[in-house]
């Protein structure tokens, strides 16, 4: 059964393969993966820390099934004005090959639980208006559409219920 957890070095092969597939899909550079693979233990150690990204503290969690890396969740502990417009409290991705099996819905549910344990009472999620899959994932987790502008939908999920 997959679980949302802090990054683990034991999934090195699966993580690197999954992220290479994502980079290929997005036509993005892979040189960072060569660096990560060269000292994966150090890469994982850094990812396990609360880091500052997008101007806020961020926790990175991986969705794993044993030694299989399925995806990543980024929890942004605070929001800047830019993240309120586009980004929100939680970002997530599922690597190619694992999509369409309910993993994103389960990942977001687990991320919402984690946010609740961290004292958050609600989370903001955003997605492109044309991203039907992401809309379904957010709505399946109780997301209520609060606004729409510039092609971005903003949903709130109440964590108190």
Domain ranges of the chain: 3-158
Rg (Cα) of the chain, in Å, rounded?
16
pLDDT at 161: 72
In this predicted structure, the answer to whether residue 3 has a pLDDT above a threshold of 90 is: yes
- Give the model confidence (pLDDT) of 6-41 as tens digits: 999 999 999 999 999 999 999 999 999 999 999 999
Rounded CA-CA distance 118/159 in Å is 11
Would you say 44 and 99 are in contact if contact means Cβ atoms under 8 Å apart?
no
Topology of domain 3-158 in CATH is: Aminopeptidase (3.40.630)
Strand (E) or helix (H) holding 22: helix 12-26
- Give the model confidence (pLDDT) of 48-64 as tens digits: 999 999 999 999 999 99
Rounded CA-CA distance 159/138 in Å is 13
Mean pLDDT on 86-111 = 97
Question: Per the confidence metrics, is the pTM higher than 0.85?
Answer: yes
Tokens 């994966």 belong to residue: 40
């Amino acid at each position: 059964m997959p679980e949302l957890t802090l990054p683990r070095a034991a999934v090195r092969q699966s993580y690197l393969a999954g992220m290479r597939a994502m980079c290929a899909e997005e036509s993005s550079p892979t040189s960072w993966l060569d660096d990560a693979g060269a000292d994966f233990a150090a890469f994982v150690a850094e990812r396990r820390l609360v880091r500052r990204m997008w101007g806020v503290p961020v926790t990175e969690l991986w969705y794993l099934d044993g030694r299989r890396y399925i995806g990543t969740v980024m929890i942004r502990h605070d929001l800047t004005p830019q993240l309120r417009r586009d980004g929100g409290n939680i970002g997530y991705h599922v690597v190619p090959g694992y999509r369409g099996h309910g993993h994103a819905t389960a990942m977001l549910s687990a991320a919402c639980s984690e946010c609740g344990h961290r004292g958050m009472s609600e989370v903001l999620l955003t997605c492109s208006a044309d991203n039907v899959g992401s809309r379904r994932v957010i709505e399946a987790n109780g997301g209520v559409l609060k606004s729409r502008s510039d092609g971005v939908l903003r949903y709130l999920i109440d964590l108190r219920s």
